Amino acid sequence: MKKQKRFFVLLLALILIFSSTPVSAASLKIKKSGKATTYTGKQLKVTYNGTNIPITSYPGLTLSGYNMIPYYYVFVKNGPKMSYSYNSNKTCLTLTYNGTTVKLYNKKKTAYVNGVKKTLGIAPIFVTFVKSNKKVFMIPAKAVCGYFGFTYSYSSSKKTITITGTDKNTVSSDSSSSVNSQSASSTQATSFKSMSTSKFIKTIGPLAQADAKESGVMASVTMAQAILESGWGKSDLAQKANNLFGMKTSLSGNTWNGSTWDGSSKYTKTTAEYDSNNKKYYVTASFRKYPSVEKSIGDHSAYLTHAKNGSSLRYSGLTSATTYKKQLTIIKNGGYATSSTYVNDLCKIITQYNLDDWD
């Protein structure tokens, strides 16, 4: 009887010991590159501008010494709510926010920030959280925050990543001068270099509106094309020549009226072209240089409304079209762009930023 009692006491002690071990509680079943593993490191929390991001089921992970976070839940669904796209063929994630575009690739340490090549300390990777059965693309938190100009800090004791960024809808404090005064003056693209998306829209909106009254090109169309073609006014051509639309010195035989270009000022640079087989090659081309953004907008609209293809208007019917999609379709069909997604790309920009409010 005493032996049985000792046995049960020993059994109870063993149960208490094993039930209190923290290993199983701290472990996390995940799959990396299709291989199942147990993650026993810290499960990281994330805050953005003081607000906790709900990622309990798919927390941040420390992999090879780098803190990795689920981009969609931190940057898209919550946090700054960035624009994004994922190309499964190229395994490329594109994040866009406040005029900055970052491209990240699965299992590659190469990233591109506004077209400039960067090298990451660790490659982004897909991780499947077994319990929630969620496949999540994890990206290096500190590096990506730096690319977007966010402040990043990490508390090891609190297992928390703290991210501080600029609200997309907040206009910076240097906006004391009114938009109207900017419209009346000679706007320089150099002012766009560090400008937020919201302020860019508020700056160029009145310019596009004023032009629309004269040309008939809808303000939303002008704004969307400027955003797409100049990268929110931050492209080299915009910064050096106030040229928001890639207007070359020679276009359609220069057979149109109302041009605001002086006929001689130019900026020469190397640019990419594509042959009939869609193979990229580079040429040195001359682009129109304008004294102001207003002149760039005016010349672009004059081209769209007066350029000819033979004896006929290249973009016939443009000014009688009553919707931005119809105008964009006429522009595309007139040969302005070769991309099959050009109209859809511009429509997405218009709807995302409510540019039709300026029409």
Phi, psi (rounded to 5 degrees) for 35: -100, 130
Nearest-angstrom CA–CA distance, 169 and 123: 31
CA-wise closest residue to 323 among 218, 240, 234, 244 = 218
Nearest-angstrom CA–CA distance, 342 and 289: 25
Nearest-angstrom CA–CA distance, 32 and 37: 8
- Is 211 an annotated catalytic residue? no
**Cβ count within 10 A of residue 99:** 19
Q: Which of 167, 299, 357, 359 is catalytic?
A: 299
Q: Which of 167, 262, 273, 357 is catalytic?
A: 273
Nearest-angstrom CA–CA distance, 33 and 187: 51
In total, the chain counts a number of residues equal to 359
- Is 294 an annotated catalytic residue? no
CA-wise closest residue to 124 among 107, 147, 102, 142 = 107
Tell me if 67 sits within 8 A of 122, measured CB to CB.
Answer: no
Instruction: Tell me the pairing of strands 43-48 and 160-164.
Output: parallel
Tell me if 245 sits within 8 A of 226, measured CB to CB.
Answer: yes
List active site positions.
273, 299
